[in-house]
Amino acid sequence: MSPIINSIERSNVELTKEDFVSGLPVKWCPGCGAHAILTAVENVFPKIGYKKENFVIVSGIGCSSRFPYYVNTYGFHGIHGRANAIATGVKVANPKLSVWIATGDGDSMAIGGNHFIHIIRRNVDVNILLFNNMIYGLTKGQYSPTTPMGAITKTSPYGTIEHPFNTGELVLGAQGTFFARVPDNNVKLMTEVMFEAAKHDGTSVIEILQNCIIFNDKVHAHVTSKEAKDENQLILKNGEPMIFGAKKNKGIRLKGTRLEVVTIGENGITEDDILVHDQYQQDPGIHLMLAKMAPPHFPVAMGVIRSAMYPTYDDLVEMQIEQAKKTSKIRTVNDLLNSGEVFEVK
Amino acid sequence: MSKQKNTIELDSAVVKFVGDSGDGMQLTGTLFADTCAYDGNDLTTFPDYPAEIRPPANTIAGVSGFQVYFGSKKILSFGEKLDVLVCLNPASLKANLKWTKKDTVIIVDSDEFNEQTLEKCGYSTNPLTDESLKGRKIIQVPVTTLIKNKIAELNLNVDNKTALRSRNMLVLGLTLRLFNKKTNYVENYLSEKFASKQIIADVNKIILNLGYEYYNQLPETQKFSFFVPPAKLEKGKYKNVNGNTATAWGLLAAAERAHLNLFLGSYPITPATEILVELAKHKSLGARVFQAEDEIAGICSAIGASFAGALAATTTSGPGLSLKSEAMGLAVMTELPLVIVNVQRGGPSTGLPTKSEQADLLQALWGRNGEAPMIVMAADSPADCFYSAFWAAKLSVEHMTPCVLLTDGSLGNGSELFKIPDVNTMPEIKPPFAKPNTDYKPYARNPETLARYWAIPGTEGLRHRIGGLEKENITGIVTTDPDNHELMVKLRAEKVQRIANYIPEQDVFGEPEGDLLVVSWGGTKGVIRESVIEMQKEGRKVSHAHFKYIMPLPKNTEQIFSKFKKIIVCELNNGQFVVYLRAVLPQFKYYQANKIQSLPFFMDELKEKYYKLLEE
């Protein structure tokens, strides 16, 4: 992991996982996917290397949003759906903070959908950990905007009749500059992806396919289980061909304007035919197709799908302020009050 | 200018310029007001424009007006009955006749009174020729004809269409002459404004003077004029400022005195938008202005900014305040400073967006889930918005609590002369920062104010977590312990109540005891004060207590109330402050004067109420 270069002040001592353990009892259900996310965050924060006081974790409401209490950083547990808006204020007010958001599928894509698309559109330099368990957990099992069509839940006893969001499609549709996806049972990949997110300047969205053991158990199992993962996950690596499968012989090829799964060694297909991942590509076309891949015809793309360079909102704010400070004659409020039309009574 | 024959001296005058939206009435009125300010008159101005941007021409819906109230005396209100009404079309006349009195001078563009324009606004006969205006002082000016003739006479290189855009300048010139004022202020303005378009500047000046000189062509019976002597204003520099701009400047001044960056999270909404627009200009003062995707993001971003150590504010109007309610509770729970400016408009729901009302008080006080007290203040004049915004920020920061500042549409859009203060002599604002590397407890409090300490992310040794869940006193650990919850509710309430120790005592205008105490709050101060002055002149024992601090009330409120035989609470709503007073100080009997027409109080209706009470 190469060091991150930006204006956030770095720690001058080596930090460890223990520096970020809050010591509060963790109250998620045993077996909940959130535990792994906590582990990954505790792993990656010391590696990122910023001073420990420069991390801020903001959350909304839901199981995911208890996250700030369990990490020893500055933390803010907000209200339902508003973590992205609160975090925008934190980052714009103080761009020298590393801002992380813990949120869920309901928090960010239902009640907070508006803030979610707009923080992405603005490209505020924050990192969003989106716990996608495809269910409302804390209210005990109602369908969410990512619940698969037809699923039986407490509020859809006859099956849902709503088309779910594909998180990646929504993020890219909102002009997202960074999107990654990871399963909750691969802490190593999660840690790597979080590091990549920290490196990215702009809004980084990490969709974590999280299991809710109580209300939506095994909802991701067809992708994340030990038996399924080799055939149903494509772990992307920048600059490397998109190869997957237990035998590492399946790959993704571009045919016409669409992706297809091919087998290397069959029908004259060689490794040269396989698409090479370019996460830095500005054009989101392939990224979008990768984000939308799903079984049964495709594996689910994991890892960093997109990481494109664009100016960040908070940098642009600072640049405008610096520029105005250089050029404006109004340097104090007294200057302002005495500018323009002034009438003097002698 | 010296007084002439047929010149009537007035201590004040109300002039209103009215025309179609797009006729330039706002500019005309502003230039007239600025000329008055330049001449040393005290003044207020009040725009009266439709919600639509360009409604159909010549209709009542499209009428746009600008009122100037100026005088040699202290001008407190926006003025009532008009001394001069300037109308650029029949609709303007029809819409404003109700504000005239029998000796109002009405200047009309007679060229605009034709069959078509009369019909558009529902006149079946021409009011200039039928008997309906008999006895009024009507000055008919054929504005279009005069302009066309002048352009032809001077053979100016400008087409009629362009020249006729300056019809407003002609009536402005005549009105200036009518008040024995000079045109040089307006001419200087035109030279600067059209510096790069000399011909336009020239044409405007020619038309301005055409109107000015037209006075000489008036029949002898109409050759009267007015003179309003300069006011005895305190020495110093002044600006003519509206309440929204003053609010923006007050927040900037507070940020400077607190040595904090200002953060504004806001979403455009009439009539509060201008605060956002004004602050967006001032990046050189470090203002971080975030135009949010909605009202909720406006306040939530501000709460985030406050957590991160900025002086945070959000600005809105009634419907927006409703949307912010949940987040306001979050600011109460996290005990962070936050200024919430609500420029009230007529409600409920979308209501009357461009009209003013005082009907959000109870929402500001109590419109949240749970026990969620916060400071509630109300500005009382356009210039006072500057000081109210400053104090809202100061109290909010120093006491670590959100504060609602109520202004209203009339204060926000209305203007008055503002004596420019030296910001460096304004009180310092001292944020209660937590000291780095101490044993920080998020809910440990200053024993006197009960304010918790502000630990800014990035500061060494102060990492902590706060949020909307109830927290254990001192430690800030999440808990649902019953005794702790009761304690925290009471602490948050007591913290706000103790602010009464840090605000000025309530003043009483007039004798400290008497037959009637007139009580009011917010934007009605001017006209109510004027009504009380008249009552006092008429020998009545009437005094006035106008409240700026509502939550908490000033400490001496009870003592003031106890000295009067009767108390009347005047509000532009169905009775809200009175509900609050009945709850907080139930030992007094309160009479009410309420008006819910989205119009200001008028002096006569107030006095009638007072007299009735005095005689009962």
Token digits of residue A115: 């803030």
Instruction: Identify the residue among A51, A53, A101 best suited for mutation to test binding to B, counting B beta carbons within 10 A and taking the highest.
Output: A53
The answer, yes or no, to whether residue A231 has pLDDT greater than 50, is yes
| B:297-356 residues touching chain A, CB 8 A cutoff | 297, 300-310, 312, 326-327, 330, 334
- Look up residue B318 and give its two tokens: 């009634």
Is pLDDT of B400 > 70? Answer: yes
Check B303 against A86: CB less than 8 A apart: yes
Across the interface, which of A53, A77, A114 has its CB nearest the CB of B459? A53
Q: Does B555 touch chain A (CB under 8 A)?
A: no
Interface subset of A 3-42, CB within 8 angstroms of B? 9, 22, 24
CA dist A226 and A232 (Å) reads 10
Q: Work out whether strand A243-244 and strand A250-255 pair parallel, antiparallel, or are unpaired.
A: antiparallel
Q: Does B40 touch chain A (CB under 8 A)?
A: yes
In the predicted model, is pLDDT for residue B305 greater than 90?
yes
- What's chain B's average pLDDT? 96
Mean pLDDT for A266-273 is 96
Report percent pLDDT > 70 for chain B: 99
Q: Which residues of chain A are within 8 Å of residue B292 when distances are taken between CB atoms? A: 85, 118
pLDDT, residue B54, reads 80
According to DSSP, residue A342 is labeled: -
- For residue B254, give every residue at least 6 positions away whose Cβ sits within 8 Å of its Cβ, in sequence order, or none: B262, B311, B389, B390, B392, B393, B394, B397, B429
Out of A19-33, B260-274, B317-331, B385-399, which region has the weakest mean confidence (pLDDT)? A19-33
Residues of chain B found within 8 Å of residue A93, distances taken between Cβ atoms: 261, 263, 288, 304-306, 308-310, 312
Give the distance from residue B27's alpha carbon to the nearest chain A alpha carbon, in angstroms.
14
Dihedral-angle region of residue B391 (phi above 0 means left; psi in -120 to 50 means alpha; beta otherwise) = alpha
Average model confidence (pLDDT) across chain A: 96
Residues 6+ positions from B380 with CB-CB distance below 8 Å: B388, B411, B521, B522, B523, B525, B526, B546, B548
Q: How far is B64 from chain A (nearest CA, A)?
A: 24
Report d(CA B30, CA B240) in Å as an integer: 9
Cβ–Cβ contact A63 with B under 8 A: no
From chain A, pick out residues whose CB is under 8 angstroms from the CB of B41: none
Integer-rounded Cα Rg, in Å, for chain B is 27
pLDDT tens string B165-222: 999 999 999 999 999 999 999 999 999 999 999 999 999 999 999 999 999 999 998 9
Selected residue of A79, A101, A330 to mutate for chain B interface (largest B Cβ count, 10 A): A79
Structural domain boundaries of chain A?
17-219+311-321
Contact of B131 with chain A, judged by CB distance below 8 Å, is answered with: no
Are A74 and B457 within 8 A, CB to CB?
Answer: yes
Tokens 């009545």, located at residue: B540
What is residue B233's DSSP assignment? P
Mean pLDDT, residues A62-71? 95
Q: Looking at this predicted complex, what is its ipTM?
A: 0.98
pLDDT digits (tens, 9 = 90+) for A147-205: 999 999 999 999 999 999 999 999 999 999 999 999 999 999 999 999 999 999 999 99
Q: What pLDDT shows up at residue A204?
A: 98
Of B241, B265, B263, B267, the residue nearest B254 (C-alpha): B263
pLDDT exceeds cutoff 60 at B28: yes
Whether the pLDDT of residue B4 is over 70: the answer is no
**Residues 393-432 (B) with a CB less than 8 A from some CB of A:** 417, 420-424
pLDDT, position A125: 98
Taking residues B446-455, what's their average pLDDT?
Answer: 98
Distance from CA of B37 to the nearest CA of A (A): 7
CA distance A333 to chain B (A): 6
Residue contact B296–A82, C-beta within 8 A: yes
DSSP letters, B121-177, are TT-SS-TTTSSTTTTSEEEEE-HHHHHHHHHHHHT-SS-HHHHHTTHHHHHHHHHHH
Instruction: Say if strands B236-242 and B415-419 run parallel, antiparallel, or are unpaired.
Output: antiparallel
Amino acid, single-letter form, for residue A205: V
Residue B110 has pLDDT above 50, yes or no: yes
Residue A125: Cβ-neighbour burial (10 angstroms; 0-12, 13-18, 19+):
buried
Q: Which CATH architecture has domain A17-219+311-321?
A: 3-Layer(aba) Sandwich (3.40)
Cβ distance A89 to B263 less than 8 Å, yes or no, reads yes
Vertex A236 angle, CA A230 and A238, to 5° = 150
Q: Which two tokens stand for residue B72?
A: 């040699």
Structure tokens at B301: 């971003």
Give yes or no for residue B2 having a pLDDT over 50. no
Please say whether the beta carbons of B424 and B443 come within 8 A.
no
DSSP per-residue string spanning A89-126: HHHHH-TTSEEEEEEEHHIIIIITHHHHHHHHHHT-SE
Which of A61, A86, A125 to mutate to test binding with chain B, by most B CBs within 10 Å of its CB?
A: A86
* Inter-chain CB proximity B477 and A96 less than 8 Å: no
Q: Which domains does chain B have, with CATH numbers?
A: 7-227 (3.40.920.10), 239-425 (3.40.50.970), 514-615 (3.40.50.920)
Contact A93 B34 (CB under 8 A): no
Does residue B286 belong to the interface with chain A, where contact is any CB pair within 8 Å? yes
Are residues A72 and B296, on separate chains, in Cβ contact within 8 Å?
no
Distance from CA of B326 to the nearest CA of A (A): 8
pLDDT tens digits for range B565-574: 999 999 999 9
pLDDT of residue B1: 45
In A, which residues are within 8 Å of B303 by CB distance? Answer: 78, 86, 89
Distance CA B73, CA B70 (A): 8
Please answer yes or no on whether A118 and B263 come within 8 Å at the CB atom: no
Residue A265: exposure state from Cβ atoms within 10 A (0-12, 13-18, ≥19): exposed
Residue in A79, A323, A327 nearest the CB of B327:
A79
Averaged pLDDT for residues B424-434: 98
Q: Which of B301, B336, B339 to mutate to test the interface with A (most CBs of A within 10 A)?
A: B301
Percent of chain A with pLDDT over 70: 100
Q: Which residues of A touch B264 (CB under 8 A)?
A: none
Statement: residue B270 has pLDDT above 70: yes
Is A54 within 8 Å of B478 when comparing Cβ atoms?
no
* pLDDT interval class at A2 (50, 70, 90): confident
Residue A22: pLDDT band by 50, 70, 90 thresholds? confident
